[in-house]
Amino acid sequence: MELNRRTLLATASAVGAAAAIGMPALTTAALAQTAQSGKQAPSFYRYKVGSFEVTAISDGSNSFKLADNFVRNAKRDEVEAALKAAFLPTDQLTNQYTPVVVNTGSKLIAIDTGRGPAGEYLANLKAAGIDPKAVNTVIISHFHGDHIGGLRDKEQNLVFPNAEIMIPAAEWTHWMDDAKMNAAPEAARGAWQNVRRVFGSIADKLTRFDAGKEVSSGIKSIATPGHTPGHTSFDITSGDGRLIYQGDASIMPYFFVRNPGWHVMFDSDPQQAEATRRKLFDMVAAERALITGYHWPFPAAGNIEKDGSGYRLHPSVWIPTL
Ligand SMILES: [Zn+2]
Determine the distance separating the centroid of ligand 1 and the alpha carbon of 55, expressed in angstroms: 18
- 143-198 tens-digit pLDDT: 999 999 999 999 999 999 999 999 999 999 999 999 999 999 998 999 999 999 99
Say what the pLDDT of residue 11 is: 47
- 3-57 tens-digit pLDDT: 555 544 444 444 444 444 455 555 555 667 999 999 999 999 999 999 999 999 9
* DSSP at 53: E
β strands within 198-296, DSSP E: 207-209, 214-216, 219-223, 232-238, 241-247, 290-293
Determine the distance separating the centroid of ligand 1 and the alpha carbon of 63, expressed in angstroms: 14
- pLDDT of 301 over the 90 cut: yes
Say what the pLDDT of residue 27 is: 58
Determine the distance separating the centroid of ligand 1 and the alpha carbon of 246, expressed in angstroms: 11
* Whether 229 contacts 171, CB under 8 Å: yes
Determine the distance separating the centroid of ligand 1 and the alpha carbon of 75, expressed in angstroms: 23
* Whether 101 contacts 135, CB under 8 Å: yes
Better pLDDT: 73 or 19: 73
Residue 37 has φ and ψ, to the nearest 5°, of -80, -30
pTM as predicted:
0.89
- pLDDT of 226 over the 50 cut: yes
Average pLDDT for 99-103: 98
Better pLDDT: 26 or 95: 95
Say what the pLDDT of residue 32 is: 79
